[in-house]
Structure 1
Amino acid sequence: MKIAAVIPARLDSTRLPNKLLRDICGKSLIIRTYESTLNSKVFDEVYVVTNNKDIVSELERNNANYFYEDKQYETGTDRIAGIASRINAEIIINVQGDEPFIKSKTLTKIINVFKEDKNKSIQVVSVMTPIDKNEISNPNNVKVVTDVNNYAMYFSRYPIPYDRDERLSSVYKHVGIYAF
């Protein structure tokens, strides 16, 4: 079973301009994420997909595998869908370009969900983690509401679900990883 990681990369961040090219201890954020994903040793292939020539230059300087798409996409997932047929993998993991600290254990868990799905009924897997109560109001954290089976029902940058009586025992935030 061929497994690929694809990192969508753009420079249109409104909260932190040019975020993916920012230096983190001598390397750009996109290279830190690429190397972390590559070093997880759970993928047959790792690629970055971008529509930005500055990112392409950074990737080439660091010998990173990439696809350049001179096309505007609404989301990173759309960007990956645009090149998915060229990858020829049974599982594609979408790792966000600003997630350099993803652990191989987390990636392995996602992959195993697909491997263990004998009926092939699961189409998308994502990651969530408990959120600290002090971070619930922070719009930089995407919150997740799940059903009783832990399937995501919806996502929001606003505090959800609304906790009128302040009795919620667990609230989760979304981690920027998707698998399909």
Structure 2
Amino acid sequence: MKIVAVIPARYKSSRFPGKPLADICGKPMIQLVYEEAEKAGCFDRVIVATESNDIMDKCRNLGLDVMLTSDTHPTGTDRVAEVAQKVDADIYVIIMGDEPLITAENERRFVASIGEKDADAVMLTAKFKNPVDVANMTTIKLAINDEGYLIFMSRAIIPYPKECLGYPIYKNVGAYALKKKHWSFS
């Protein structure tokens, strides 16, 4: 089974333009994300997908595999779909380009879990540790049923905490996997 990691890296972020190039301890953020994916050792190929010539040039200078994609994609998943039309794989693991704290170990465990469920997609999740963080509208909250399947997701608090929170609330950690056989391209 061929597994390709794609790292969507958009320059034109509305909240932080150029975020993938932000310096973290002397390296651009996108390099840290890429290096962890390479270190995981479970991908046949790791590709940065970007609409930006600046990001593409930086990646090339660093020796990272990079592909220029359309600047009209509304989401990172759309950017990955464009890559999937050009690069064949059975599974595409999407690792968000602004998630430098996802470790190679988490990526290895995540990839190993893909075959455990009969699902078209798998998402890396974590429980919120600080209840205050649940109110942060930039974090995607997940409603997961008892079998571990995603029911829905939202930037709003789900379910709405009418009373004391006596249950775990999960968040998307910034990585998910999609099986190509379930995609349809126009």
User: Is the TM-score greater than 0.5?
Assistant: yes
Match of 2:165 in 1: 167
Show the counterpart of 1:32: 32
Question: How far apart are 1:109 and its partner, in Å?
Answer: 2.8
Secondary structure of the residue aligned to 1:10 is coil
**Counterparts of 1:67 and 1:155, CA distance in 2:** 29
Letter of the structure 2 residue corresponding to residue 122 of structure 1: A
Distance in 2 separating the partners of 1:173 and 1:35: 24
Cα root mean square deviation, aligned: 1.5
Match of 1:100? Answer: 100
Q: Tell me, yes or no, if the aligned pair for 2:141 and 2:171 is still in contact at 8 Å.
A: yes
Give the drift of 1:38.
Answer: 1.1
**Aligned-residue offset at 1:116:** 4.2
Deviations 1:106-164 (A, max 9, x none): 222332233345xxx42100011110212111112211111222211121222221111
2:133 maps to 1:127 = no
Paired residues for 1:52-131 under 5 Å? 52-116=52-116, 121-131=118-128
Unmatched tracts of structure 1, length 5 or more: none
**SS in structure 1 at match of 2:125:** strand
SS of 1:136 mapped into structure 2:
helix
**Structure 2 counterparts to residues 143-158 of structure 1, below 5 A:** 143-158=141-156
Measured in 2, the distance between the counterparts of 1:148 and 1:55 equals: 41
1:20 equivalent to 2:20? Answer yes
C-alpha distance 13-44 of structure 1, shift in aligned 2 (>3 A): same
Mapped partners of 1:4, 1:123: distance in 2? 16
The CA distance in 2 between the partners of 1:3 and 1:45, in whole Å, is 7
Q: Could you list the per-position Cα deviations for residues 16-37 of structure 1 after superposition, in whole angstroms to 9, with x for gaps in the alignment?
A: 2221111111111111111111
Range that drifts further, 14-23 or 102-111: 102-111
> Structure 2: which 5+ residue stretches go unaligned?
179-186
Query: How many Å separate the matches in 2 of 1:167 and 1:63?
Result: 47
In the superposition, the TM-score normalised over structure 2's length comes to: 0.88
Deviates more, 1:43-52 or 1:13-22: 13-22
Deviation per CA, 1:54-88: give whole Å up to 9, x if none.
10111111011011124411111111111213221
Secondary structure in structure 2 of the residue aligned to 1:122 = coil
